Structure 1
Amino acid sequence: MRGGNVLNTDKKQEIRAKLVMKLIPYLRKNGLQSIRMEEIAKVMEVSRATLYKYFSTKEEIIGFIVAGFIEYMNELTNSHFDTDQSFGTRFQLIFEQSVSLVEYFTDIFIKELETSYPEWYDRFNEGMKKREQYLLAFYAEGIQKGIFNPISGRLLIAQDEILRGMFNVKYLMTNQLTVQQILTDYYQLKKIQLFKPDKLTVIDDAVIEQRIAYLTQKITKNLY
């Protein structure tokens, strides 16, 4: 019986995650405050009765979203690598995560999270601070081992914010760019400025190509 309960819980979590993924593109553009449960059901393409089977309040939905991203960040900060080759792997994981966080946690989303759901905002902030400390330690370790160029870790972290202004239709059209071009060029920029020339061999770019294609599809879908 307990095994059945576990399976039912896992299935419910899976459905909750799928419903939320339909909602996130709307929230990133329109924010949190104005949308009501009736509208949420429409965006999720389910009835109100079905929505209430999985989420009883809007706050519960917001909490599910934030908790999911905190868990996503912890996947990186809780991982352990030992070899020089792993610096390439970690760099790619950090790049993918940085793009995802910029894409989903827009300025509108974060500001309204702080105003309307301060407890969840604090938890998200704590997760971001933990991630920042991990990144600073990672960059310092790479410099110490002679793999990275001696660049400020805080500057590297702040640099990711430039992506926020690029992921919008007006910018793309004005500059005749595609999301894939931006992601590919930004990846190359980060790689070349971070890794010393003789250490670039620790990176397998074939691995990231598939991830960039996936990110391009998700971001483009959310834009149009």
Structure 2
Amino acid sequence: MNSQISDKKNETRAKLMNKLLPYLRKNGLQSVRMDEISRVMEISRATLYKYFSTKEEIVEFIVDGFIEYMKELTHNPLDSVQSFGTRFLQIFEQTISLVVYFSDIILQDLETSYPDLFDRFNEAMKEREEKILAFFEEGKQKGIFNQLNGRLLIKQDEILRGMFDVKFLMTNQFTVQQVLYDYFQLKRIQLFKPEKLTAIDDEVLMPKIEHLTQKVTKNLF
């Protein structure tokens, strides 16, 4: 029974956090107050305190949630070209989510005000990077990926922060969906050898792109 109550509470906490994250992405962590948080979550302060005792608890819930999300990177055997395509798509989805939710202002506030949580988040990011590098290396060894520097491919994802900017999108008349689709194609062409590009079917890709478009748009506008 206690387990069911705990699961229900965590489910509600996650739903409340989904309302809060777009606001934090734009406004950061440092200056936001509990009354502001309850307003964004559309609940009373009394209800908020039933789920989170302090702002620090909220920040910890966010960081821990994303650390668990990063750990979800599958360890399924890579026994076919399609399995490499599936893993690559999962990495792409994670990358977009991490870039969207952990904006520069959130990362700066985390480092300044919550250094322990910042260190934990950074450590999880490093572990994720090592998994991705191992994935790239295995793909190269099996003749599926081009012989490219994996760390440069990962570093390249930092340009997404500038691309997911309302001013950038409007100035260049880009849609979020166009940016996501074109960037995915760029990464796929760079990584997969020409004869292996069919590892990800567009019928599988497009629903993922549409889902990510909704997620990104919700956090930008």
TM-score interval for Structure 1 and Structure 2 normalised by the shorter chain:
over 0.9
Shift in Å, 1:200: 1.6
Equivalences for 1:119-134 in 2 at 5 Å? Answer: 119-134=116-131
TM-score (norm: length of structure 1)? 0.96
**Residue in 2 aligned with 1:192?**
189
**Residue in 1 aligned with 2:157?**
160
Give the Cα separation in 2 of the matches to 1:72 and 1:205: 25
Give the Cα separation in 2 of the matches to 1:208 and 1:99: 14
Equivalences for 1:1-224 in 2 at 5 Å? Answer: 4-76=1-73, 79-84=75-80, 85-224=82-221
| Root-mean-square deviation (Å) | 0.9
Shift in Å, 1:205: 2.6
Shift in Å, 1:184: 0.4
- AA in 2 matched with 1:26: Y
Unaligned 5+ segments in structure 2 are none
Give the Cα separation in 1 of the matches to 2:48 and 2:185: 42
- AA in 2 matched with 1:83: D
Unaligned 5+ segments in structure 1 are none
SS where residue 72 of structure 2 aligns? helix
Shift in Å, 1:138: 0.6
Shift in Å, 1:207: 1.5
Is contact 2:9-2:51 (8 Å) kept?
yes
**Could you report, residue by residue, the CA deviation over 1:156-205 in whole angstroms, capped at 9, with x for unpaired residues?**
10111111001111101110100000000001111111100111222223
Structure number with greater CO (CA < 8 Å, separation at least 6) is 2
SS where residue 145 of structure 2 aligns? coil
Give the Cα separation in 1 of the matches to 2:198 and 2:183: 19
Shift in Å, 1:98: 0.5
Give the Cα separation in 2 of the matches to 1:178 and 1:34: 31
Is contact 2:100-2:219 (8 Å) kept?
no
Is contact 2:70-2:128 (8 Å) kept?
yes
Give the Cα separation in 1 of the matches to 2:120 and 2:205: 30
